[in-house]
């Protein structure tokens, strides 16, 4: 999708950067930011993910060429990537192959399907899907707490549901790089009242 071309690309990039900062403060992930860009500017998801990472065509191609070595069509150029990003909204565009989408999924740290345009027809409840809408709770704690009645209740399926919908949000909230629902579930599922101080042994007489 080609969308509306800005008259001043440098100014438009600054606007995008400001929008990224605003959405990050609200707790949005890179994927959510990309979906917002795609919806607001009517561009392809392939282009929207590049915008969300705030990199140029040349920079995206450089990372692709350094990380993806099995592209049968050779090195990626800015012109070639542009034809993929503009598909199908331009007569000079080209549909990206699955191998290309897999390669850029490595570049943008996402799933190849995230780069494919179209509607979501999955059956999961909306709360379990990443709808890509900006969040109003900047801390990110609000949504986690709404899944339970507090930290003690955020256990089991609640943690797994939150992690599935927002894979990197749980780590951001807790401030731990390698945390997962499986790792913190045992600690959170133990009620504080069950922790008892050990009783010292009685001295023998």
Tell me how far the alpha carbon of residue 46 is from its chain's centroid. 14
pLDDT, tens digit, 9 for 90 and up, residues 143-160: 444 444 343 344 455 556
Q: How far apart are CA 195 and CA 191, in angstroms?
A: 8
Residue 116 CB neighbour total at 10 angstroms: 13
**Phi and psi at residue 116, in whole multiples of 5°?**
-100, 130
The pTM assigned to this predicted structure is 0.59
Model pLDDT, residue 180:
57
Residue given tokens 């290309």 in the structure block: 100
Tell me the average pLDDT of the chain.
74
pLDDT, tens digit, 9 for 90 and up, residues 24-72: 999 999 999 999 999 999 999 999 999 999 999 999 999 999 988 677 7
For residue 174, give the nearest of 146, 149, 139 by alpha carbon: 139
Q: How far apart are CA 57 and CA 51, in angstroms?
A: 10
Q: How confident is the model at residue 90 (pLDDT cuts 50, 70, 90)?
A: confident
The length of the chain in residues reads 205
Please list, residue by residue across 160-196, b when 16 or more beta carbons sit within 10 angstroms of its beta carbon and e when fewer do. Answer: ebbbebbeebbebbeeeeeeebeebbeebeeeeeeee
């Amino acid at each position: 999708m080609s969308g509306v071309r800005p008259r001043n690309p440098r100014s438009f990039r600054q606007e995008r950067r400001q929008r990224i900062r605003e959405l990050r403060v609200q707790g949005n992930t890179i994927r959510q930011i990309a979906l917002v860009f795609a919806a607001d500017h009517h561009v392809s998801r392939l282009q929207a993910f590049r915008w969300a990472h705030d990199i140029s065509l040349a920079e995206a191609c450089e990372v692709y060429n350094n990380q993806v070595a099995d592209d049968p069509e050779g090195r990626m150029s800015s012109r070639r990537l542009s034809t993929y990003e503009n598909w199908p909204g331009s007569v000079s565009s080209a549909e990206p192959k699955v191998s290309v989408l897999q390669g850029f999924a490595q570049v943008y740290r996402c799933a190849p399907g995230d780069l494919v345009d179209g509607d979501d027809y999955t059956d999961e409840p909306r709360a379990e899907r990443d709808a890509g809408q900006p969040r109003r709770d900047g801390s990110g704690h609000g949504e986690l707490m709404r899944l339970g009645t507090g930290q003690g209740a955020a256990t089991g399926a609640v943690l797994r549901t939150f992690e599935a919908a927002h894979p990197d949000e749980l780590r951001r909230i807790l401030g731990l790089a390698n945390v997962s629902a499986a790792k913190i579930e045992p600690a959170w599922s133990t009620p504080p009242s069950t922790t008892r101080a050990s009783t010292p042994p009685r001295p023998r007489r």
